[in-house]
Amino acid sequence: MRSFQVTFDSEDICAGTYLRAMHREELTKGAKLLALAAASRGRSCDILGLSCTSFSFTLGSAKVREQISAGYPGVPVTDMATAQLEALKALKAQRVALLTPYIEELSRANAEMLETMGQVQVVNRLTMNLPRDELTSAVPPAEIAEWAVRVDRPEADVVVIGCSGFRACQPDFLDPLEARLGKPVVTSTQAFLWHMARRAGAEEKIEGYGTLLSKH
């Protein structure tokens, strides 16, 4: 696995930050560097992905794919919003509860994306109204778990925890939380890694990171 960190001119999690990055062609620049890195070892990538949920659903998967493919053509491209949708499809979810760290505008956009593109009903939603990534990453996993319990509803098939900035895909987090809730939990990072692996042809099941990775 190789990675490139997209340069933002602001820590603010909002459409303006992502639009400015797109105007500077940051995704294309990153894809070109990944292509060079792979070529230096005589290899190519099987799949490319954008690891930012709100970037993906704010500007849309099509724009993300277009700019990444401009830098590294001929390789499949995915993103975290798409991964969320594919994970819910694999779990056959029809109703979900959604937890996000975002400001209200972005949280609402995440819910709308799930409902319009994923054809699922968001039965409940909570957001922490955190405006910057550094604040999201500072939230302790135990606190994320408590918020997940609060957002859950009996009618929800799955609890979705959005944003790669959340520390919600690490050992001893997802399996205990699923046991506590009695249902699958999908996080952005977990769904992204699962989707990237499956698109690249890796079918191995992984224990310890929730139903999605252990059963699908």
Three-class DSSP labels, 184-200: CEEEHHHHHHHHHHHHC
Tokens for 103? Answer: 């400001």
Mean pLDDT of all residues belonging to the chain: 94
Neighbours of 39 (CB within 10 A): 11
Tens of pLDDT, residue by residue over 67-84, are 999 999 999 999 999 999
Every domain of the chain and the residues it spans: 15-79, 81-215
How high is the pLDDT of residue 109?
95
CATH code for residues 81-215: 3.40.50.12500
- Residue count of the chain, please give it: 216
Q: Widest CA span of the chain, in angstroms?
A: 52
- Give, rounded to a whole angstrom, the gap between the first and last alpha carbons of the chain: 21
Count of C-beta atoms within a 10 Å radius of residue 162: 30
Give the tens place of pLDDT for each residue, 127-184. 999 999 899 999 999 999 999 999 999 999 999 999 999 999 999 999 999 999 999 9
At 70, list the tokens.
């401009």
Please name which of 98, 2, 119, 3 lies closest in space to residue 54, comparing C-alpha atoms: 98
Task: Calculate the alpha carbon distances from 55 to 87, 91, 198 in Å.
Answer: 18, 24, 22
Residue 123: which residues within 8 A CB-CB, separation 6 or more? 95, 96, 97, 153, 155, 156
Per-residue burial over 42-67, b if 16 or more Cβ lie within 10 Å, else e, is eeebebbbbbbbbbbbbbebebbbeb
Model confidence band, residue 15 (pLDDT cutoffs 50, 70, 90): confident
Q: Report whether 216 contacts 194 (CB < 8 A).
A: yes
Whole-structure pTM value: 0.93
